[in-house]
Amino acid sequence: MMALHPDRLFPIEADARGIARRLFSAVESLPIVSPHGHTDPLWYANDEAFPDPARLFVKPDHYIFRMLYSQGVKLEELGVPRRDGGSVEIDGRKIWRLFAKHWYLFRGTPSRLWFEHALETVFGIEERLSEKNADAIYDRIAERLTEPSMRPRALYKQFGIEVISTTDAATDDLAAHDAILKSGWSGRVVPAYRPDAVVDASRADFGANVEQFVALAGTKLEYQGYLEAHRVRRAYFKARGATSTDHGHPNARTANLSASEASALFERVLKDPSAEDADLFRAQMLTEMARMSVEDGLVMQIHPGSFRNHNPALFDWFGTDKGADIPRATNYVEELKPLLDAFGNDPRLTLILFTLDETSYSRELAPLAGHYPALRLGPAWWFHDSPEGMRRFRELTTETAGFYNTVGFNDDTRAYLSIPARHDMARRVDCAFLARLVADYRMDEDEAHEIAHDLAYRLAKEAYKF
């Protein structure tokens, strides 16, 4: 591995590169606002050392093992637990060697850049990982992981995080968040309300989830009680610092049924819902969530368009989140209309849209966000959270929606060490984009400086009401 080059991801041409350097140097050290992600609140609550390098870098990162799996590496060999409890590799060093042997597969991917950023900035390792140096690098990381400076709270400070949001089930008691608050630690870790498990009636556990949900809220198991349970739980989250809700749906469909239709639908989905009923119920609930956001001020996020668990055999063996979630075409224009008809013009709502379907950027999302006061565009997401993906996001949305209908960056990660790497990448790519606009005289450099600051810091903080 080369050492991290200070000009990485900047334009190649010298003048534009110089502009990018100047823009980046002014935003490089801004605090990290992380309004959407999947870090474990227990890390901050317990502040325990991370385990070995394999458990830190390989096992929890579906970006990593999906690529290895695609090239014939078995998930058992990577220590991914089997649902039947069958044996899998537990020797961190063996897993690490296997990873190192296949490291070349990540050439040209963002995982490569995130990993090398963490290796160098957190562990001071500037070599490129390979089969040859796998053991030596493993040992250096393992040794450092025992140091107090490598604990989650110390890293939070080292990373310059100002606030970070986790993502939490609607039925979560948020005990870890309470523990953080009571501990007196100065870090700010807030939950986000993610009710998918009590909204998606296609799940096998939906009925049980809803029963637990209304019991927890102390409301009745009928539609109005179910809605009230959402209000109760949202308030519970809000009291613990939540500023947002998040909704991961297979599509962007919304509905705005009458109270009696919705109530009848709720009764049906509690029994044996048809696929259409389950879809319609999810659609109806997005509109209900928007209605509640208008009331309680929680920022609403929709992450649609993933075909989850596309590989049933793999799902049977290993469960969810194993790299087998595949994007599909998503229609925002027709599908969001019922919700927008109801609340699209309401200044009290902030609805942040994400997509896995890049064709929607210029065709649908930018025109929608460039018109409706309630709408904002989330950053390039998941597979598209990458240098080329972020560049396409800006190129395809800016001319229609501008910069100010976007909300800065989300790192969206489960991999703690990738947080500064991802924000670094986003800031670089945005500065590179701006530098090109300055270099071909579409914008003045003083404006680009202001926008770079907005994209790196202010817009996320304001859009998510931190």
- 297 near its own copies, judged by CB under 8 A: no
* Among the listed residues 372, 381, 393, 464, the single contact to its own copies using CB under 8 A: 372
CB of 107 to its own copies, least distance (A): 6
**Cβ–Cβ contacts within 10 Å for residue 250, how many?**
17
Site residues (CB under 8 A) for its own copies, limited to 40-99: 66-67, 69-72
Decide whether 132 or 307 has the Cβ nearer to its own copies: 307
- Map the footprint of its own copies across residues 379-418, applying CB under 8 A: 383-384, 386-389, 395-396, 398-405
**Least distance (Å) from its own copies to the CB of residue 408?**
15
CB 433 within 8 A of CB 394: yes
Contact status: 204 vs its own copies (CB under 8 A): no
Q: Can residue 2 be called a binding residue for its own copies (CB under 8 A)?
A: yes
Out of 362, 453, 461, 462, name the contact with its own copies by CB under 8 A. 362
Closer to its own copies by CB, 90 or 329: give it.
329
Q: How far apart are CA 164 and CA 178, in angstroms?
A: 15
Is 70 or 158 the residue whose CB approaches its own copies more closely?
70
| Rounded least distance, CB 48 to its own copies, Å | 32
The yes or no reply on residue 212 touching its own copies (CB under 8 A) is no
H helix runs in 4-76, sequence order: 14-27, 41-46, 53-57, 62-70
3-class secondary-structure state, position 164: strand
Any contact of residue 351 with its own copies (CB under 8 A)?
Answer: no
Quick note: the x/- pattern for its own copies over 255-294, rule CB under 8 A, is: ----------------------------------------
Say how far apart CA 43 and CA 415 lie, in whole Å: 12
DSSP per residue, 110-148: HHHHHHHHHHHHHH---SPP-TTTHHHHHHHHHHHHTSG
CB 281 within 8 A of CB 273: yes
Distance (Å) of CA 70 to CA 2, 80, 206, 413, 436: 27, 15, 32, 21, 36
- Of the residues 363, 414, 453, 458, which one makes contact with its own copies according to CB under 8 A: 363
85 or 312: CB nearest its own copies: 312
End-to-end CA distance of the chain: 38
Length of the chain as a residue count:
466
Task: Tell me if 367 contacts its own copies by CB under 8 A.
Answer: yes
List the one residue out of 111, 66, 63 whose CA is nearest residue 425: 111
Contact yes or no for 124/150 (Cβ under 8 A): no
Instruction: Encode burial over 163-181: b for 16+ CB neighbours within 10 A, e otherwise.
Output: bbbbbbbbbbebebbeebb
Candidates 91-99, 119-127, 265-273, 431-439; binding stretch for its own copies (CB under 8 A): 431-439
Q: How many residues bind its own copies (CB under 8 A)?
A: 94
Choose, by CB under 8 A, the member of 220, 264, 345, 465 that binds its own copies. 345
439 touches its own copies by CB under 8 A: yes
**224 versus 345: smaller Cβ distance to its own copies:** 345
Least separation in angstroms between CB 192 and its own copies: 24
Residue among 297 and 367 whose Cβ is closer to its own copies: 367
Minimum CB distance to its own copies smaller for 285 or for 439: 439
Nearer to its own copies, 310 or 465 (CB): 310
Q: Of these, 26, 76, 109, 308, which contacts its own copies (CB under 8 A)?
A: 109
Q: Is 276 exposed, middle or buried (0-12, 13-18, 19+ CB in 10 A)?
A: exposed
How far apart are alpha carbons 45 and 189 in whole angstroms? 10
Pattern 12-31, its own copies, x by CB under 8 A: xx-xx---------------
Binding mask 308-337 for its own copies (x = CB under 8 A): --xxxxx--------xxxxxxx-x-xx--x
Interface residue with its own copies, options 373, 453, 458, 461 (CB under 8 A): 373
> Quick one: which segment of 181-189, 211-219, 267-275, 436-444 binds its own copies (CB under 8 A)?
436-444
How far is 331 from 303, CA to CA, in rounded Å? 13
C-alpha 164/C-alpha 448 separation (Å) is 26
The residues near 20 (Cβ < 8 Å, ≥ 6 apart) are 7, 10, 11, 428, 431, 432, 434, 435
The answer for residues whose C-beta is within 8 angstroms of residue 46's C-beta and 6 or more apart is: 179
